[in-house]
Amino acid sequence: MPSELIAQLLDDPKGFDERGAAYSLLQEFFQGYPTTALRDLLRHSDIHVRRVAMFIASELGIRARPLLGDVLPLVQDRTRYIAYHAMEVAAVCCVDSDAEGFACVVLSLEQDDEVLRSHAMRLVSRAEVAQLEAARDAIAASRETAQAALHLQGLSMLLSAERTDVDVRRDLASAEPLRRRYAAIEARRRRVGGVDGFASESDPDIRRFWKA
């Protein structure tokens, strides 16, 4: 019974997580247990409870959309695993009326954690145009900082129909790291050829992104 599994998780969070019991609980959600039952687990103070809940949410795909209010703040969680999978949920579920929530993935391009930065680059490179437009509007409405301005410029790059391969190559050589990341994303989205060597030696984020 799912309620029994949740009780086991709360009784021994670390043991439940480490023995892989999350897979058994996941199956209960696949079989119809209400997704909203994850809300309290996503908000829990224990890291192992949050890890299990985030794992399940990320496996549920679009069915995790009702949980966005609890998942999106976890994109900034200090635990890499939780933040990584929270971004995945955001990428899948921030659509239609929830598309502006994708801004949290875009803003993760400036994460301190290099793995999370690279993951954000991959997710933004696969994003729908509507998600990029909604993220642009959300950032423009809520932030007035130099970094926000860079994000708005970068999103404009990705959404522009007028930029050329020459523009992309120029921005891959920019002195501004965030602009280089956007240029690398743009190169992949536009399928610009012959750019794998650009910034690869001096910029490990782009090197990882090219290899992904």
Is the pTM here over 0.75, yes or no?
yes
Residue 64 banded pLDDT, cuts 50, 70, 90: very high
What are the boundaries of each domain within the chain? 1-93, 99-212
Residue 198 has pLDDT above 90, yes or no: no
Element of type H or E holding 10? helix 2-11
Dihedral sign, Cα of residue 120, residue 122, residue 123, residue 129 = positive
pLDDT in tens, 9-45: 999 999 998 998 999 999 999 999 999 999 999 999 9
pLDDT band at 145 (very low <50, low <70, confident <90, very high): confident
Q: What is the pLDDT of residues 43-54, one digit of tens each?
A: 999 999 999 999
Question: For residue 205, what pLDDT is reported?
Answer: 87
DSSP letter, residue 162: S
Rounded to whole angstroms, the Cα distance separating 86 from 78 reads: 12
User: What token pair was written down for 65?
Assistant: 């959309």
For residue 52, the SS3 value is: helix
Q: How far apart are CA 169 and CA 137, in angstroms?
A: 26
> What would the mean pLDDT of 143-159 be, rounded to a whole number?
91
